Amino acid sequence: MEIKDIIKEENKVYSKPELLDNVHMHYCPGCSHGVVHKLIAEVVAEMGITDKTVGVSPVGCAVFAYNYIDVDWIEAAHGRAPAVATAVSRLWEENVVFTYQGDGDMAAIGTAETIHAANRGENIVMVFINNAIYGMTGGQMAPTTLVGQKTSTTPYGRRIDLNGHPLEITDILATLSGTCYVTRQSVHTPGAARKTKAALKKAFENAIAKRGTSVVEVVSTCNSGWKMSPVKANEWMVENMFDKYPLGDLKVE
Amino acid sequence: MAKVKGAVTVNIERCKGCDLCVAACPTATLSLQPNEVNDRGYHYAYMSNADACTGCCSCAWVCPDACIEVYRVKID
Ligand SMILES: Cc1ncc(C[n+]2csc(CCOP(=O)(O)OP(=O)(O)O)c2C)c(N)n1
Ligand code: SF4
Ligand code: SF4
Ligand SMILES: [Mg+2]
């Protein structure tokens, strides 16, 4: 059988999601942000909630997420996405609201907004891209940077005595009464990406049913910040990140 | 037993040559172009061993830029 006989519309089993715009995404080659964008675009379309979904994009590499996924968006000031999402979901209750934030945005400058939105049990989805670094600004140490991990501000590796411990923000959020679903996933293999998609769907269902705050952490790579090839970054993540940030559900209510 | 045969298309201009699809493919169907580049200068992915493709979609799932579309047929 020739390739041209296989490549026919009726044989198609995987397409680019329609909600992913036909524009070039500025992310570095192999960046996890792109995979997560794709999964969100798929989930929103499959759930039939395109017209009522509102995203709140961060300051960080994902600042331009509003150019890539064709739903409504607001771009929040650094770290304030959960506060902005609170306003949107309270003022337009029929909408389905999600935040999309990196570790610097969500767990450093925005720690207060993150914790209090989750503690209030806002009916939102928080998507948390934990790549253990400030990708956008040149690879500085983030709260989630691992002990010993080299970054541009910890060139000899993160030291507990000097830099403190990695912050397990997702574990903290799981202890709060306002969260109904807290999970930690990844997108480095087809199987892992499928699980993340299922987790996102569950989180969006919770927001629609107004069950409280859902948190989907995606342990991610920043191959540029980590100074590795994308394939090597995935390997490094498996070897080093999953020990500190183990995958799986932290809370399901 | 019915056998399956697959094929993929790569959106050449969207592809950034990250190599993640090549690493994810269980049948070693894909490679990055050794010489050719797209308009942005990336060595884009292509089926260097098209006969091996089973249409499993592994490559497409991990592609950060949604460049890959997958087709599959059953052969009796
Ligand atoms: C008020 C303010 N402080 C600092 C910055 C600089 N800044 C931009 S992005 C960023 C952190 C990005 O890291 P993260 O949230 O982990 O996102 P990533 O790029 O890794 O996805 C910082 C500190 C800023 N833009 N505004
Ligand atoms: S700097 Fe890191 S997080 Fe930002 S686009 Fe590049 S790989 Fe992704
Ligand atoms: S569909 Fe599966 S077999 Fe075919 S190229 Fe992609 S990963 Fe390889
Ligand atoms: Mg980060």
Token pair 């670094």 is at which residue? A133
Ligand 3 centroid to residue B57 C-alpha, Å: 5
Supply the pLDDT for residue B6.
Answer: 98
Ligand 2 centroid to residue A28 C-alpha, Å: 5
B43 contact A CB<8A: no
pLDDT greater than 90 at residue B76: no
pLDDT band at B1 (very low <50, low <70, confident <90, very high): low
A35-90 pLDDT per residue, tens: 999 999 999 999 999 999 999 999 999 999 999 999 999 999 999 999 999 999 99
pLDDT greater than 90 at residue A6: yes
- pTM attached to this predicted model: 0.97
Q: Are strands B3-10 and B68-75 parallel, antiparallel or unpaired?
A: antiparallel
Instruction: Provide the edge-to-edge strand list for the sheet that holds A12-14.
Output: A12-14, B68-75, B3-10
Torsion of CA A116, A218, B11, A225, to 10 degrees: 90
pLDDT greater than 70 at residue A26: yes
Question: CB of A219 within 8 A of CB of A171?
Answer: no
Which of A1-5, A29-33, A238-242 has the weakest average pLDDT?
Answer: A1-5
Using a pLDDT cut of 70, give the percent of chain A over it: 100
CATH 3.40.50.970 fits A25-252, yes or no: yes
Q: How far apart are CA A29 and CA A20, in angstroms?
A: 17
- Domain boundary assignment for chain A: 25-252
**Mind telling me how many Å the CA of B34 is from chain A's nearest CA?**
17
Q: Give the single-character DSSP code of A156.
A: T
User: DSSP labels for A27-54?
Assistant: SPTT-HHHHHHHHHHHHHHHTT-GGGEE
A172-200 pLDDT per residue, tens: 999 999 999 999 999 999 999 999 999 99
**A135-144 burial, b if ≥16 CB within 10 A, otherwise e?**
bbeebbbbbb
Please tell me the CATH code under which domain B3-71 is placed. 3.30.70.20
Question: CB of A113 within 8 A of CB of A81?
Answer: yes
**Mind telling me how many Å the CA of A35 is from chain B's nearest CA?**
4
Residue nearest to atom 3 of ligand 3 (CA): B53
Q: How far apart are CA A231 and CA A88, in angstroms?
A: 38
Paired residues of A134 in beta bridges: A140
Q: How far apart are CA A80 and CA A94, in angstroms?
A: 22
What is the best residue among A26, A80, A136, A151 to mutate for testing ligand 1's pocket, by most ligand atoms within 8 Å of CB? A136
The answer to whether the Cβ–Cβ distance between A230 and B73 falls below 8 Å is no
Residue nearest to atom 7 of ligand 2 (CA): A222
Identify from B9, B33, B62 which residue to disrupt to test chain A contact, counting A C-beta atoms within 10 A and taking the largest count. B62
Give the H or E element holding residue B68.
strand B68-75
- Domain boundary assignment for chain B: 3-71
